[in-house]
Amino acid sequence: MRDEGAEVADSPAGACKGDIVITMLADDNAVEEIVLGSGGIIKALRENAIHLSMSTITVALSEALTEAHYAVGQHFVAAPVFGRPEAAAAAKLFIVAAGEPEPLDRCEPLFDDLGQKTFVVDQFPPKANLVKLSGNFLVASVIECLGEAVALIRKAGVDPTQFLGILTCSLFAAPCTRPTANSSSRTDFARLGSQCRSDSRTCEECWLQQRRRTSQCRLRASCAITSSPV
């Protein structure tokens, strides 16, 4: 990016010279440290600047960030995304945004550059995070159901690759099901079986538990959402 003219900052605070700063980080801990920690961006952003948070975070943290930015005269816009890394590279993300109208209008050119469609759900930023987490919950449910179906098909002697090909070309022709289906059809349950610690679980169950852990939904921390904007 430097070769294309981007100015590379030596710290998160150093990236806050403009009117909008974007964060897209792994989890709550990372976002909280970068934004609210020592030398965080909330201390470096100017008044009326925007923190555009595109991370998948809990509603509770989104509420805290909304309040923290408001208290120092800044704006907070939540805009988590649906889409795999290749979609991001091709600017084909689906963006779920929430925030006050004026900051959203200022972020619109960025949304147009980063995604193929933006859904504005509310003026209260945490509601965008709730939509994202609810979508992730559905994806995790699909993963579990596919694993169960593949286990049944495999035990009956049906080719799971053919079975999943049928599903993803008919009933479940959706972007989120194809990569999961490909992964589940190639899973080496025999290898996973050597790692099982409980004789009461099948190898498929071990795989499902592993997939659930890697797709953990933060919805349980998001049940106390309030309806009024800060």
Q: Between the CA of residue 55 and those of 29, 62, 78, 148, what are the distances in Å?
A: 11, 10, 8, 30
Buried residues in 165-196 as b, exposed as e (16+ CB within 10 A): eebbeeebeeebbbebbeebbebebeebeeee
- Tell me the β-bridge partners of 94: 82, 117
**Which candidate in 17, 43, 92, 132 is catalytic?**
132
Answer yes or no: are the C-beta atoms of 90 and 61 closer than 8 Å: no
Phi, psi of 143 (to 5 degrees): -60, -45
DSSP string, 177-189: HHHHHHHHHH--H
Output the 3-class SS for 90-103: CCCEEEEEECCHHH
SS3 38: coil
Tell me the two tokens of residue 182: 């490909």
92 among known catalytic residues:
no
Among candidate residues 213, 211, 178, the one with its CA nearest the CA of residue 87: 178
Phi, psi of 118 (to 5 degrees): -120, 130
Name the residues annotated as catalytic.
132
